[in-house]
Amino acid sequence: MDLTPSLVRSKAEAYRESQPLAAVEQDHVEMLPEMLASGDFGWRDVEWVVQWYFRRDLGAYPDEARLAAEEAFEANTYEAVEEALGAVAAAEDLSMRLDRLTALAGVDTRIASAFLLFMFPTRYVVVGEREWGVLHEAGELADPYPAPPMREDYLRYDAVCRDLAERCDVDAWTLYRALWQLGRERADAG
């Protein structure tokens, strides 16, 4: 598969038309960046990001693992989350951003990538097996999905996503939607 600009754009559009959470996600992409960066958010806003990561699979993710991750995140205080997100907003370096996010209880590299997506939707693509699998199949990533991805894996993934977004002249949110849609179609055909 060749991830051409026209394919990426058409699959991102197909995502908007076929994904049940697309409208809610778009609302959050528009409102969360400023809220999370400024500290003007409620607990439900940050909890939504964690829940979204697992629930975007619409039941395909095992409930026990999803609930464990969501409960682990709840161990954080509001102040700890506010401080971490403020530091992420102020940092310019991806490694520093990942360090601050993964220092929170219940936040691994996958959840950190979800926070990065909703804080910086034009810059970061969330990582998961579906998105990684499409990039691997297209020859963009040499290794299969590392379950779960670690910090170094996300750094490689991010570099590939940045390059691909630039080649296709799209932002990270558009690239994410295209990768998710391609992965869904791949799973449906398999």
Query: Is residue 176 in some structural domain?
Result: yes
Query: Is residue 135 in some structural domain?
Result: yes
pLDDT at 61 over 70: no
Query: Is residue 125 in some structural domain?
Result: yes
The first and second tokens of residue 46, run together, are: 């940050």
Region 174-183: mean pLDDT is 97
| Euclidean distance between CA atoms 87 and 100, whole angstroms | 7
Q: How many percent of the chain have pLDDT more than 70?
A: 97
| Euclidean distance between CA atoms 167 and 119, whole angstroms | 23
pLDDT in tens, 84-134: 999 999 999 999 999 999 999 999 999 999 999 999 999 999 999 999 999
What confidence tier does 7 reach under pLDDT thresholds 50, 70, 90? Answer: very high
Torsion-angle region of 64 (φ positive above 0: left; ψ -120 to 50: alpha; else: beta) = alpha
Torsion-angle region of 169 (φ positive above 0: left; ψ -120 to 50: alpha; else: beta) = left
pLDDT at 190 over 90: no
Indicate the average pLDDT of the chain.
94
Pick from 133, 177, 186: nearest CA to 15: 177
Give the pLDDT of residue 154: 98
- Report the number of distinct structural domains present in the chain: 1
Between vectors from CA 24 to CA 21 and to CA 25, what angle results, nearest 5°? 80
Query: The dihedral of CA 173, 174, 177, 179: what is its sign?
Result: negative
Q: Where are the alpha helices (DSSP H) in the chain?
A: 5-18, 22-38, 43-55, 63-73, 78-90, 94-102, 109-119, 129-137, 151-168, 172-189
pLDDT at 1 over 90: no
**Which residue range(s) make up the domain with 73?**
5-183
3-class SS of residue 148: coil
Query: Is residue 67 in some structural domain?
Result: yes
Query: Lowest-pLDDT range, 27-36, 47-56, 57-66, 102-111?
Result: 57-66
Q: What is the DSSP letter of 26?
A: H
Query: Is residue 189 in some structural domain?
Result: no
Query: Is residue 29 in some structural domain?
Result: yes
pLDDT at 65 over 80: no
Q: What number of residues does the chain have?
A: 190
pTM score of the predicted model: 0.95
Give the pLDDT of residue 5: 98
The first and second tokens of residue 167, run together, are: 């080649």
Query: Is residue 172 in some structural domain?
Result: yes
Query: Is residue 51 in some structural domain?
Result: yes
The first and second tokens of residue 95, run together, are: 């490694």
